[in-house]
Amino acid sequence: MSLDYSEYLSLVQVRPDDIDLFGHVHSAKYLDYFLAARFEQMQKNYLCGMDEFLSRGLGWFLQDFDISFKRQLKMGDVANVYTRIISLEKTGSIVGFRMTNTSNKLVADGKGKFALVDINNARAVSVPDWVVERYSVKEQNT
Amino acid sequence: MSLDYSEYLSLVQVRPDDIDLFGHVHSAKYLDYFLAARFEQMQKNYLCGMDEFLSRGLGWFLQDFDISFKRQLKMGDVANVYTRIISLEKTGSIVGFRMTNTSNKLVADGKGKFALVDINNARAVSVPDWVVERYSVKEQNT
Amino acid sequence: MSLDYSEYLSLVQVRPDDIDLFGHVHSAKYLDYFLAARFEQMQKNYLCGMDEFLSRGLGWFLQDFDISFKRQLKMGDVANVYTRIISLEKTGSIVGFRMTNTSNKLVADGKGKFALVDINNARAVSVPDWVVERYSVKEQNT
Amino acid sequence: MSLDYSEYLSLVQVRPDDIDLFGHVHSAKYLDYFLAARFEQMQKNYLCGMDEFLSRGLGWFLQDFDISFKRQLKMGDVANVYTRIISLEKTGSIVGFRMTNTSNKLVADGKGKFALVDINNARAVSVPDWVVERYSVKEQNT
């Protein structure tokens, strides 16, 4: 079994409300940029969007998140947000990310650990085989 | 029947993410300050919180909103957000607001028109008598 | 003198943090979508971005804003945000907008009144001729 | 020299725009709750607010951040946000935090590493003695 998951790219626009008192994208926004990229890539690349999980009574809840900030983004920038599965675990996944600016300089990187949960009781459930299969796509579905 | 509804006050804290590139609270945040005040006052003053509406399959959807900005709020400020029913209509309400800073200077004012909807089909429904009654409280329930 | 200003289009992505407890884009976000479109169109269509204004000590402050909500946006949607100058006034501008969903159905419309201010003292200043000229472009600079 | 810094508490209100499609506070908001608490505690407890830093040409930039999510917050909740200096370093600080709900159950914990920077060139600067002194306050300045 390969541990070598594909990395995908989403573009996220900086919006005026993202800017903070230093004139940069506020640090809290990067987590949402990461999640925005995941939502898009679940739909576009893994071909199983959050809608499909929700329709089966499942959701992905973030358990742990860490980020290192390297450079600033500012108004007018577009973030290149790359994410990839680091590992699929019994009841969740670890997803790495890196963001670059339009000059391809590293802006931030880090990872998030997600639990797959039954949205009716918020309990962790085993990652089903169909998810393992979809998340292991190699070709870029773009 | 009196058209004279009570005005209530909620305090809303400015948070770092609210600040924009000019160092002021971003204009889009004022609408959320207004809604934050409404949520609190529905619970505390009208004694029928959004939870109660949701448990009955009802929700308040904003239809129209207008605001005039008079002064800036900045980091460290707390907004005094006053709201009051201007009128209760067949399927909704018009709610006025004004916000002042800690020096009691006017920061913004305006109003919102809400429809009461069945959250299962997003259709407007008639405002029930129990809502009219609760929204007509005169004493400050604080 | 023509009062017939061009309308321009910007695409704005819905992000996870935009979604509210009803599963729709939160009403406060629409104002930011409108401003995001304006920032992009100032740069791309009028060829004078906010940076240029700031470098001259000028900024556009929102004075009045009104919006009517017609349909919901949700996760996965992209908003088409059209804006156009309604009128240029001595010390500001009135800008209309309409947003549609990917099926070209109207989501929201409204307008904002902006004052051009000296950012050092927040006082309104006369709109210079070079701004009038740039804002009157007829061709789509795309 | 004592490494035992005081822990301080700030209350942060949940606002409607904080809620996500699962009906909980969106994970990205917790970072802003942490920063909101830091801003308040810098002013109220350390007696040197961000304004004072800015007036000296200094700012605190977040370099690393990690968080573990334990429980959900929802509309109507108030977060108790406790922060404390873990260590003061040559050019920055490591600040720990924990958040509890109104039942004093742990909601999230983690830490942030900040660099003290010259805001004119974004370069790290040595933490001055007056900052070390203020950040070492033992009594609760409340």
Q: Which of D14, D15, D19 to mutate to test the interface with C (most CBs of C within 10 A)?
A: D19
- Tens digits of residue pLDDT in B87-125: 999 999 999 999 999 999 999 999 999 999 999 998 999
Residue A122 has a pLDDT of 87
Residue D11 lies in a domain: yes
Residue B27 has a pLDDT of 97
Q: Rounded to an integer, what distance in angstroms lies between the CA atom of residue B88 and that of residue B1?
A: 12
Domain ranges, residue A59: 7-135
Domain count, chain C: 1
**How confident is the model over A34-48, as a mean pLDDT?**
95
Res D2 pLDDT > 70:
no
Residue B50 lies in a domain: yes
Nearest-CA residue of chain B relative to A27? Answer: B17
B130 touches chain C (CB under 8 A): no
Chain-chain contact of A36 with C13 (C-beta, under 8 angstroms): yes
Q: Rounded to an integer, what distance in angstroms lies between the CA atom of residue C19 and that of residue C13?
A: 12
Nearest-CA residue of chain B relative to C33? Answer: B28
Residue D128 lies in a domain: yes
Chain-chain contact of B75 with D33 (C-beta, under 8 angstroms): no
D136 falls in which pLDDT band (50, 70, 90)? confident
Q: Out of C28, C59, C119, whose CB is closest to B29?
A: C28
Nearest-CA residue of chain D relative to B18? Answer: D32
Residue D4 has a pLDDT of 79
The interface predicted TM-score of the complex, written ipTM, equals 0.93
- Give the least confident one: A61-65, B56-60, D2-6, D113-117: D2-6
CATH number at residue A48: 3.10.129.10
C72 touches chain B (CB under 8 A): yes
Residue C27 lies in a domain: yes
Q: Chain A closest CA to B72's CA: distance in Å?
A: 14
Task: Find tokens 């309308």 and name the residue.
Answer: C7
**How confident is the model over B129-142, as a mean pLDDT?**
78
Joined together, the tokens standing for residue D136 give 């070492």
pLDDT above 70 covers a percentage of chain D that reads 95
Chain-chain contact of D26 with C20 (C-beta, under 8 angstroms): no
Residue A2 lies in a domain: no
**How confident is the model over A5-17, as a mean pLDDT?**
96
Q: Rounded to an integer, what distance in angstroms lies between the CA atom of residue C83 and that of residue C39?
A: 11
Strand partners, A60: A116
pLDDT per residue, tens digit, chain C (142 aa), is 445 899 999 999 999 999 998 899 999 999 999 999 999 999 999 999 999 999 999 999 999 999 999 999 999 899 999 999 999 999 999 999 999 999 999 999 999 999 999 999 989 999 999 999 998 887 655 4
Q: Out of B15, B39, B51, whose CB is closest to D16?
A: B39
Residue A3 has a pLDDT of 57
Any chains having at least 3 CB pairs less than 8 A from chain C are A, B, D
Residue B2 has a pLDDT of 47
C28 touches chain D (CB under 8 A): yes
Q: For D126, which DSSP code? A: P
Residue C140 has a pLDDT of 54
Residue D142 lies in a domain: no
Residue A117 has a pLDDT of 96
Nearest Cα to Cα of residue C12 among C70, C97, C95, C99: C99
Residue D1 lies in a domain: no
Q: Out of C15, C36, C51, whose CB is closest to A16?
A: C36
Residue D141 lies in a domain: no
Return all residues near C60 (Cβ < 8 A) that are at least 6 apart.
C50, C53, C92, C93, C114, C115, C116, C117
D86 touches chain A (CB under 8 A): no
Residue C2 has a pLDDT of 47
**How confident is the model over A98-105, as a mean pLDDT?**
96
Q: Rounded to an integer, what distance in angstroms lies between the CA atom of residue B12 and that of residue B18?
A: 12
What percent of the residues of chain C are helix, what percent strand, and what percent coil, each to the nearest 5? Answer: 25, 40, 35
